[in-house]
A = this chain, B = another copy of it.
Amino acid sequence: MTDTPERPTSDQLTAADVQCYCPVGGVIDLLGRKYAIQVVCVVGAMQPARYTEIEAAFGEVSSSTLSTRLSELTEAGLLDREQRNTIPPEVQYRLTTDGAELCAVLEPLLQWVESRDPSG
């Protein structure tokens, strides 16, 4: 309860109040990329998820795009990639703790999207 003049007692938000409310770079930017949100949720639903399974979850994805997305999400600390050097090779993707938090927050979004536009 300070008497800071910059923050009026009004409960009506102004532009200044939400100025810090708009992260544009970083994770938000990553999530804007194609399939990013869905990949997080798909991995969360299938854990552990293998590359081919993830690929199959999307009807049409080019391997390069999916590969890039997986790398980015792993790099961002949202996915954990574990490779087993067997023959044939086997890779398992899981959510990190951070990724799980994100997934929990993302799932309601996908639920809403589905309920609103069932045709995809």
Interface residues of A (CB under 8 A from B): 12-19, 21-28, 31-35, 37-38, 41-42, 45-46, 52-54, 56-59, 98, 101-102, 105-106, 108-114, 116-117, 120
17 of the cross-chain contacts (CB-CB < 8 Å) are: A12-B46, A15-B52, A15-B54, A15-B57, A19-B59, A21-B42, A21-B114, A22-B38, A22-B58, A23-B114, A23-B120, A24-B34, A27-B116, A101-B112, A105-B109, A105-B111, A109-B109
| Complex CA distance for A23 and B26, rounded to whole angstroms | 23
Copies in the complex: 2
Q: Are A113 and B45 in contact, with the CB atoms below 8 A?
A: no
Q: Are B21 and A57 in contact, with the CB atoms below 8 A?
A: yes
Interface majority SS on A: helix, strand, loop or mixed? Answer: helix
- In angstroms, how far is the closest chain B Cβ from the Cβ of A77? 9
Residue of B nearest to A48 (CB): B12
| Complex CA distance for A77 and B98, rounded to whole angstroms | 32
Contact flag A57-B19 (CB < 8 Å), given A32-B34, A46-B14, A108-B105: yes
